[in-house]
Amino acid sequence: MLTKLIIYTLGSSLALFVAAEYVPGVTHTGTWTILAMAGFAIALLNLAIAPILRILALPLRILTFNLFSLVIDMAMVWLADILLVDNFNIEGLVALFWTTVIIMIFNALLWQILSPARN
């Protein structure tokens, strides 16, 4: 669990840096610590709240061929933006969508590279 938190925090922080540079509507003021705090908040929400939402939304996930998981991930990024992290803003649904997609890609790649070997 701690390994997942560290990898997801690193992936989310790097993805937020990329999103802040290239996605219009994503801004942060301050240093890289703002992005690290936002990445930690997103990782924490994805590990604590998202599994519960995925179970509750199982019928919708089945009907949409798991595309509803993207909506759940977008909600976690939005919650981190609105409630947990100051000085980091995502303006608009399009910016939220692309930021979430970038975070998902970075987390998947880092998990493949850095995850401990499984038997």
Name the packing angle between helices 2-22 and 93-114 (round to 10°). Answer: 140
Q: What is the pLDDT of residue 59?
A: 94
Q: How many other C-beta atoms lie within 10 A of the C-beta of residue 20? A: 19
Spans of all domains in the chain:
2-114
Give per-residue pLDDT as tens, 2-57: 888 888 899 999 999 999 999 999 988 878 888 888 889 999 998 999 899 999 99
Give per-residue pLDDT as tens, 74-108: 999 999 888 877 888 889 999 999 999 999 999 98
Q: What is the pLDDT of residue 35?
A: 86
Q: What is the pLDDT of residue 29?
A: 83
Grouping H, G, I as helix, E, B as strand and the rest as coil, residue 49 is coil
118: pLDDT strictly greater than 80: no
Whole-angstrom distance between the N-terminal and C-terminal Cα of the chain?
A: 17
User: Which one-letter DSSP state was computed for residue 81?
Assistant: I
